[in-house]
Chains A and B, each alone.
Chain A
Protein backbone atom coordinates (compact mmCIF):
# COMPACT_ATOMS: atom_id res chain seq x y z
CA UNK A 1 0.00 0.00 0.00
CA UNK A 2 2.54 2.49 -1.15
CA UNK A 3 0.23 5.49 -1.04
CA UNK A 4 0.26 5.35 2.75
CA UNK A 5 4.04 5.35 2.84
CA UNK A 6 5.39 7.82 0.31
CA UNK A 7 8.94 7.56 1.68
CA UNK A 8 9.15 3.82 1.46
CA UNK A 9 12.38 2.38 0.06
CA UNK A 10 12.92 2.14 -3.67
CA UNK A 11 11.19 -0.51 -5.74
CA UNK A 12 13.42 -3.53 -6.31
CA UNK A 13 12.82 -3.49 -10.08
CA UNK A 14 14.35 -0.05 -10.48
CA UNK A 15 17.38 -1.16 -8.50
CA UNK A 16 17.64 -4.22 -10.77
CA UNK A 17 17.41 -2.05 -13.86
CA UNK A 18 20.15 0.28 -12.71
CA UNK A 19 22.49 -2.53 -11.68
CA UNK A 20 22.03 -4.25 -15.03
CA UNK A 21 22.67 -1.10 -17.01
CA UNK A 22 25.96 -0.48 -15.24
CA UNK A 23 27.10 -4.10 -15.45
CA UNK A 24 26.19 -4.59 -19.10
CA UNK A 25 27.83 -1.37 -20.26
CA UNK A 26 31.00 -2.68 -18.70
CA UNK A 27 30.66 -6.22 -20.09
CA UNK A 28 29.81 -5.10 -23.61
CA UNK A 29 32.95 -2.96 -23.74
CA UNK A 30 35.09 -5.82 -22.51
CA UNK A 31 33.65 -8.26 -25.05
CA UNK A 32 34.23 -6.02 -28.05
CA UNK A 33 37.89 -5.67 -27.33
CA UNK A 34 38.64 -9.02 -25.77
CA UNK A 35 40.93 -9.96 -28.66
CA UNK A 36 42.18 -6.55 -29.69
CA UNK A 37 44.08 -5.66 -26.53
CA UNK A 38 46.15 -8.84 -26.13
CA UNK A 39 46.94 -8.86 -29.85
CA UNK A 40 48.07 -5.25 -29.93
CA UNK A 41 50.04 -5.69 -26.77
CA UNK A 42 51.91 -8.64 -28.22
CA UNK A 43 52.68 -7.08 -31.60
CA UNK A 44 53.68 -3.65 -30.33
CA UNK A 45 55.88 -5.27 -27.72
CA UNK A 46 57.60 -7.37 -30.36
CA UNK A 47 58.25 -4.30 -32.48
CA UNK A 48 59.66 -2.25 -29.60
CA UNK A 49 61.70 -5.16 -28.26
CA UNK A 50 63.64 -5.26 -31.51
CA UNK A 51 65.33 -1.99 -30.54
CA UNK A 52 65.15 -1.73 -26.75
CA UNK A 53 64.98 -4.15 -23.87
CA UNK A 54 61.47 -4.12 -22.49
CA UNK A 55 60.12 -5.66 -19.33
CA UNK A 56 56.96 -7.47 -20.37
CA UNK A 57 55.27 -6.71 -17.05
CA UNK A 58 55.81 -2.98 -17.45
CA UNK A 59 53.54 -2.57 -20.43
CA UNK A 60 50.05 -1.18 -20.10
CA UNK A 61 47.47 -1.18 -22.84
CA UNK A 62 44.12 0.47 -22.35
CA UNK A 63 41.26 1.74 -24.40
CA UNK A 64 39.05 4.70 -23.59
CA UNK A 65 35.86 4.25 -25.52
CA UNK A 66 34.13 7.36 -26.73
CA UNK A 67 31.12 7.94 -28.94
CA UNK A 68 32.92 9.18 -32.04
CA UNK A 69 36.43 8.05 -31.37
CA UNK A 70 38.21 5.72 -28.97
CA UNK A 71 41.63 6.35 -27.54
CA UNK A 72 44.12 3.52 -27.47
CA UNK A 73 46.90 4.16 -25.00
CA UNK A 74 50.03 2.03 -24.80
CA UNK A 75 52.47 2.75 -22.00
CA UNK A 76 55.79 0.99 -22.25
CA UNK A 77 58.21 1.51 -19.44
CA UNK A 78 61.76 1.36 -20.71
CA UNK A 79 64.30 0.80 -17.95
CA UNK A 80 67.43 2.95 -17.64
CA UNK A 81 69.99 0.82 -19.37
CA UNK A 82 72.61 -0.58 -16.94
CA UNK A 83 75.06 -0.76 -19.83
CA UNK A 84 74.52 2.42 -21.80
CA UNK A 85 77.00 1.34 -24.44
CA UNK A 86 74.70 -1.31 -25.78
CA UNK A 87 72.04 1.28 -26.41
CA UNK A 88 74.15 4.15 -27.57
CA UNK A 89 73.76 3.52 -31.20
CA UNK A 90 70.11 2.77 -31.11
CA UNK A 91 68.46 5.19 -28.79
CA UNK A 92 70.08 7.87 -26.72
CA UNK A 93 66.91 9.50 -25.62
CA UNK A 94 65.67 6.51 -23.71
CA UNK A 95 63.84 7.77 -20.65
CA UNK A 96 62.56 6.00 -17.61
CA UNK A 97 59.19 5.74 -19.15
CA UNK A 98 57.79 6.68 -22.47
CA UNK A 99 54.28 6.58 -23.61
CA UNK A 100 52.97 6.23 -27.05
CA UNK A 101 49.53 7.28 -27.95
CA UNK A 102 47.63 6.09 -30.91
CA UNK A 103 44.15 7.17 -31.74
CA UNK A 104 42.04 4.54 -33.40
CA UNK A 105 38.57 5.02 -34.67
CA UNK A 106 36.04 3.16 -32.61
CA UNK A 107 34.92 -0.30 -33.62
CA UNK A 108 31.39 0.72 -34.32
Chain B
Protein backbone atom coordinates (compact mmCIF):
# COMPACT_ATOMS: atom_id res chain seq x y z
CA UNK B 1 0.00 0.00 0.00
CA UNK B 2 1.42 3.33 -1.07
CA UNK B 3 2.05 6.07 1.45
CA UNK B 4 1.25 9.63 0.40
CA UNK B 5 3.43 12.13 2.24
CA UNK B 6 2.85 15.88 2.16
CA UNK B 7 5.87 18.07 2.87
CA UNK B 8 4.56 21.35 4.24
CA UNK B 9 5.59 24.28 6.44
CA UNK B 10 3.41 27.34 6.05
CA UNK B 11 6.36 29.69 5.73
CA UNK B 12 8.31 29.85 2.50
CA UNK B 13 12.04 29.27 2.20
CA UNK B 14 12.42 26.84 5.09
CA UNK B 15 13.46 23.91 2.91
CA UNK B 16 10.32 22.13 1.69
CA UNK B 17 11.60 21.54 -1.83
CA UNK B 18 15.06 20.51 -0.64
CA UNK B 19 13.40 18.14 1.81
CA UNK B 20 11.01 16.67 -0.78
CA UNK B 21 13.92 15.95 -3.12
CA UNK B 22 16.21 14.60 -0.41
CA UNK B 23 13.59 12.42 1.30
CA UNK B 24 12.30 11.13 -2.06
CA UNK B 25 15.82 10.25 -3.17
CA UNK B 26 16.68 8.68 0.20
CA UNK B 27 13.60 6.45 0.00
CA UNK B 28 14.42 5.51 -3.60
CA UNK B 29 18.00 4.70 -2.55
CA UNK B 30 16.60 1.90 -0.39
CA UNK B 31 14.88 0.45 -3.48
CA UNK B 32 11.40 1.86 -2.84
CA UNK B 33 9.46 3.18 -5.84
CA UNK B 34 9.01 6.91 -5.28
CA UNK B 35 7.15 9.69 -7.10
CA UNK B 36 7.89 13.26 -6.04
CA UNK B 37 5.07 15.62 -7.03
CA UNK B 38 5.47 19.39 -7.20
CA UNK B 39 2.38 21.22 -5.97
CA UNK B 40 4.27 24.46 -5.46
CA UNK B 41 3.02 27.67 -7.00
CA UNK B 42 6.32 28.24 -8.72
CA UNK B 43 8.04 25.33 -10.35
CA UNK B 44 11.28 24.54 -8.52
CA UNK B 45 11.44 20.88 -7.61
CA UNK B 46 12.57 19.97 -11.14
CA UNK B 47 15.44 22.45 -10.80
CA UNK B 48 16.56 21.11 -7.43
CA UNK B 49 16.41 17.57 -8.84
CA UNK B 50 18.27 18.55 -12.02
CA UNK B 51 15.44 17.68 -14.41
CA UNK B 52 14.44 21.20 -15.48
CA UNK B 53 15.28 20.58 -19.14
CA UNK B 54 13.34 17.35 -19.31
CA UNK B 55 9.92 18.69 -18.29
CA UNK B 56 7.42 18.39 -21.15
CA UNK B 57 4.12 17.82 -19.39
CA UNK B 58 3.20 18.89 -15.88
CA UNK B 59 0.70 18.01 -13.17
CA UNK B 60 -2.06 20.16 -14.68
CA UNK B 61 -1.88 18.32 -18.03
CA UNK B 62 -2.46 15.06 -16.15
CA UNK B 63 -5.27 16.32 -13.88
CA UNK B 64 -7.07 17.65 -16.94
CA UNK B 65 -6.63 14.38 -18.78
CA UNK B 66 -4.66 15.92 -21.65
CA UNK B 67 -1.87 13.38 -21.26
CA UNK B 68 -1.47 10.10 -19.44
CA UNK B 69 0.32 10.01 -16.10
CA UNK B 70 3.12 7.88 -17.59
CA UNK B 71 3.81 10.60 -20.19
CA UNK B 72 4.29 13.28 -17.55
CA UNK B 73 6.40 11.29 -15.07
CA UNK B 74 10.12 12.01 -15.42
CA UNK B 75 12.43 9.21 -14.41
CA UNK B 76 15.52 10.26 -12.46
CA UNK B 77 18.79 9.69 -14.33
CA UNK B 78 20.63 8.47 -11.23
CA UNK B 79 18.03 6.37 -9.42
CA UNK B 80 15.78 4.19 -11.49
CA UNK B 81 13.00 3.97 -8.89
CA UNK B 82 12.74 7.76 -8.50
CA UNK B 83 10.24 9.76 -10.57
CA UNK B 84 9.22 13.40 -10.72
CA UNK B 85 5.91 15.01 -11.64
CA UNK B 86 6.59 18.70 -12.26
CA UNK B 87 4.41 21.70 -11.44
CA UNK B 88 3.17 24.10 -14.04
CA UNK B 89 5.34 27.15 -14.47
CA UNK B 90 2.97 29.36 -16.38
CA UNK B 91 -0.53 27.97 -16.39
CA UNK B 92 -3.28 29.14 -14.07
CA UNK B 93 -3.03 27.49 -10.68
CA UNK B 94 -6.84 27.42 -10.40
CA UNK B 95 -6.72 24.81 -13.13
CA UNK B 96 -5.83 22.32 -10.38
CA UNK B 97 -9.12 20.89 -9.17
CA UNK B 98 -9.73 18.72 -6.16
CA UNK B 99 -11.18 15.92 -8.30
CA UNK B 100 -8.28 16.11 -10.74
CA UNK B 101 -5.72 15.89 -7.93
CA UNK B 102 -7.64 13.03 -6.26
CA UNK B 103 -7.57 11.06 -9.50
CA UNK B 104 -3.84 11.55 -10.06
CA UNK B 105 -2.98 10.64 -6.44
CA UNK B 106 -5.12 7.51 -6.68
CA UNK B 107 -3.31 6.49 -9.86
CA UNK B 108 0.10 7.19 -8.32
CA UNK B 109 -0.83 5.03 -5.33
CA UNK B 110 -1.21 2.04 -7.65
CA UNK B 111 2.26 2.32 -9.14
CA UNK B 112 4.45 3.63 -6.34
CA UNK B 113 5.38 2.79 -2.76
CA UNK B 114 5.74 6.47 -1.86
CA UNK B 115 4.20 9.65 -3.21
CA UNK B 116 5.94 12.76 -1.86
CA UNK B 117 3.96 15.97 -2.35
CA UNK B 118 5.94 19.20 -2.20
CA UNK B 119 3.42 21.72 -0.88
CA UNK B 120 3.44 25.43 -1.73
CA UNK B 121 4.06 28.01 0.98
CA UNK B 122 1.10 29.76 2.55
CA UNK B 123 -2.19 28.44 3.82
CA UNK B 124 -4.25 29.03 0.70
CA UNK B 125 -5.84 26.62 -1.72
CA UNK B 126 -2.69 25.12 -3.17
CA UNK B 127 -1.41 23.84 0.12
CA UNK B 128 -4.77 22.43 1.23
CA UNK B 129 -5.06 20.59 -2.10
CA UNK B 130 -1.71 18.97 -1.50
CA UNK B 131 -2.50 17.91 2.07
CA UNK B 132 -6.03 16.67 1.53
CA UNK B 133 -5.09 13.29 0.10
CA UNK B 134 -2.01 12.60 2.19
CA UNK B 135 -1.63 9.86 4.80
CA UNK B 136 1.38 11.43 6.47
CA UNK B 137 2.55 15.03 6.87
CA UNK B 138 6.13 16.16 7.31
CA UNK B 139 6.12 19.64 8.83
CA UNK B 140 9.38 21.39 7.95
CA UNK B 141 10.40 24.00 10.51
CA UNK B 142 13.42 26.23 11.00
CA UNK B 143 14.31 27.01 14.63
CA UNK B 144 13.14 30.58 14.20
CA UNK B 145 10.02 32.36 15.51
CA UNK B 146 8.15 33.05 12.26
CA UNK B 147 8.71 29.54 10.95
CA UNK B 148 7.55 27.92 14.20
CA UNK B 149 4.46 30.08 14.28
CA UNK B 150 3.52 29.26 10.67
CA UNK B 151 4.13 25.57 11.32
CA UNK B 152 1.70 25.77 14.21
CA UNK B 153 -0.94 27.21 11.90
CA UNK B 154 -0.29 24.51 9.30
CA UNK B 155 -0.68 21.82 11.98
CA UNK B 156 -4.11 23.28 12.82
CA UNK B 157 -4.97 23.26 9.13
CA UNK B 158 -3.80 19.67 8.71
CA UNK B 159 -6.28 18.60 11.36
CA UNK B 160 -9.11 20.63 9.87
CA UNK B 161 -8.72 20.33 6.10
CA UNK B 162 -7.65 16.79 5.48
CA UNK B 163 -9.92 14.12 4.12
CA UNK B 164 -12.19 13.83 7.12
CA UNK B 165 -14.17 11.18 5.26
CA UNK B 166 -11.41 8.79 6.26
CA UNK B 167 -12.38 9.58 9.82
CA UNK B 168 -8.87 9.54 11.16
CA UNK B 169 -6.26 12.04 12.20
CA UNK B 170 -3.31 12.47 9.91
CA UNK B 171 0.06 11.22 11.05
CA UNK B 172 2.23 14.29 11.52
CA UNK B 173 5.99 14.50 11.92
CA UNK B 174 8.31 17.37 12.66
CA UNK B 175 11.47 17.88 10.62
CA UNK B 176 13.76 20.62 11.89
CA UNK B 177 15.96 22.04 9.14
CA UNK B 178 18.82 24.57 9.11
CA UNK B 179 19.68 23.63 12.65
CA UNK B 180 22.84 25.25 13.88
CA UNK B 181 24.11 23.52 17.03
CA UNK B 182 26.66 26.25 17.71
CA UNK B 183 24.03 28.99 17.83
CA UNK B 184 21.58 26.80 19.73
CA UNK B 185 24.33 26.00 22.24
CA UNK B 186 24.99 29.69 22.74
CA UNK B 187 21.29 30.28 23.38
CA UNK B 188 20.92 32.36 20.25
CA UNK B 189 18.73 29.86 18.41
CA UNK B 190 15.70 27.88 19.59
CA UNK B 191 16.96 24.42 20.39
CA UNK B 192 15.39 21.11 19.39
CA UNK B 193 13.55 20.69 22.71
CA UNK B 194 12.09 24.21 22.46
CA UNK B 195 10.63 23.51 19.02
CA UNK B 196 9.26 20.07 20.00
CA UNK B 197 7.74 21.51 23.19
CA UNK B 198 6.00 24.30 21.34
CA UNK B 199 4.69 22.27 18.39
CA UNK B 200 4.19 18.93 20.23
CA UNK B 201 4.83 16.73 17.22
CA UNK B 202 7.00 13.61 17.10
CA UNK B 203 10.44 14.38 15.70
CA UNK B 204 11.32 12.83 12.33
CA UNK B 205 14.79 14.33 12.08
CA UNK B 206 17.12 17.26 12.57
CA UNK B 207 18.89 18.51 9.47
CA UNK B 208 21.98 20.53 10.40
CA UNK B 209 22.64 23.77 8.56
CA UNK B 210 25.27 22.95 5.97
CA UNK B 211 26.95 24.21 2.82
CA UNK B 212 26.31 20.76 1.35
CA UNK B 213 22.61 21.56 0.95
CA UNK B 214 23.29 24.63 -1.18
CA UNK B 215 26.02 22.82 -3.10
CA UNK B 216 23.62 19.98 -3.94
CA UNK B 217 20.92 22.32 -5.22
CA UNK B 218 23.51 24.24 -7.26
CA UNK B 219 24.32 20.97 -8.98
CA UNK B 220 20.70 19.87 -9.32
CA UNK B 221 21.14 16.77 -7.24
CA UNK B 222 19.33 15.83 -4.01
CA UNK B 223 21.83 16.06 -1.14
CA UNK B 224 21.36 12.35 -0.33
CA UNK B 225 22.65 11.50 -3.83
CA UNK B 226 25.20 14.26 -4.22
CA UNK B 227 27.11 13.59 -1.02
CA UNK B 228 25.57 10.67 0.88
CA UNK B 229 28.21 10.82 3.62
CA UNK B 230 27.61 14.48 4.50
CA UNK B 231 25.82 15.34 7.75
CA UNK B 232 22.57 16.63 6.13
CA UNK B 233 22.42 13.61 3.79
CA UNK B 234 22.79 11.18 6.70
CA UNK B 235 20.12 13.08 8.62
CA UNK B 236 17.74 12.88 5.63
CA UNK B 237 18.46 9.17 5.10
CA UNK B 238 17.73 8.46 8.77
CA UNK B 239 14.50 10.47 8.51
CA UNK B 240 13.48 8.44 5.45
CA UNK B 241 14.10 5.20 7.35
CA UNK B 242 12.00 6.45 10.24
CA UNK B 243 9.20 7.19 7.77
CA UNK B 244 9.51 3.55 6.66
CA UNK B 245 8.90 2.54 10.25
CA UNK B 246 12.45 1.69 11.24
CA UNK B 247 13.63 2.53 14.72
CA UNK B 248 16.70 4.71 14.16
CA UNK B 249 18.22 6.54 17.14
CA UNK B 250 18.11 10.32 16.72
CA UNK B 251 21.44 11.94 15.93
CA UNK B 252 21.50 15.31 17.66
CA UNK B 253 23.88 17.62 15.83
CA UNK B 254 26.52 18.88 18.22
CA UNK B 255 29.07 21.60 18.13
CA UNK B 256 32.01 19.72 16.62
CA UNK B 257 34.43 22.61 16.58
CA UNK B 258 37.31 22.06 18.97
CA UNK B 259 38.37 24.20 21.87
CA UNK B 260 41.02 25.80 19.67
CA UNK B 261 38.60 27.19 17.10
CA UNK B 262 36.21 28.25 19.86
CA UNK B 263 38.92 30.24 21.59
CA UNK B 264 40.05 31.93 18.43
CA UNK B 265 36.55 32.49 17.06
CA UNK B 266 37.08 30.48 13.92
CA UNK B 267 33.98 29.66 11.95
CA UNK B 268 32.57 26.31 12.97
CA UNK B 269 32.12 23.71 10.27
Residues of A within 8 A of B (CB): 11-14, 16-17, 19-21, 23-24, 27-28, 31
Closest Cβ neighbor of B148 among chain A residues? A20
Within the complex, which residue of B148, B149, B188 is in contact with A12, where a contact is CB–CB below 8 Å?
Answer: B188
Nearest-Cβ distance from residue B184 to partner chain A, whole angstroms: 7
- Per the bound structure, the CA–CA distance linking A79 and B149 in Å amounts to 43
Q: Does the CB pair A23–B188 fall under 8 Å?
A: no
A31 to B154, CA, bound (A): 11
Interface of A is mostly: helix
A2 CA / B187 CA spacing, docked (Å): 11
Which of A14, A17, A20 meets B149, CB within 8 Å?
Answer: A20
Closest Cβ–Cβ distance, residue B100 to chain A (whole Å): 28
A20 and B198 contact, CB distance less than 8 A? yes
Residue-wise interface mask of B (188-224) relative to A, using a CB-CB cutoff of 8 A (1 in contact, 0 not): 1111001001100000000000000000000000000
A28 contacts B152, CB within 8 Å? yes
- Contact A17–B188 (Cβ < 8 Å): no
> Is residue B42 within 8 Å, beta carbon to beta carbon, of the partner chain?
no
B20 CB to closest chain A CB (Å) equals 26
A24 touches B149 (CB 8 A): yes
Asked whether B103 is an interface residue with its Cβ less than 8 Å from the other chain, the reply is no
Question: Taking the nearest CB of chain A, how far is it from the CB of B266, in angstroms?
Answer: 15
- CB contacts (< 8 Å) of B153 on chain A: these are 27, 31
Cβ contacts under 8 Å, B197 to chain A: 17
Chain A residues near B156: list those with CB within 8 A: 28, 31
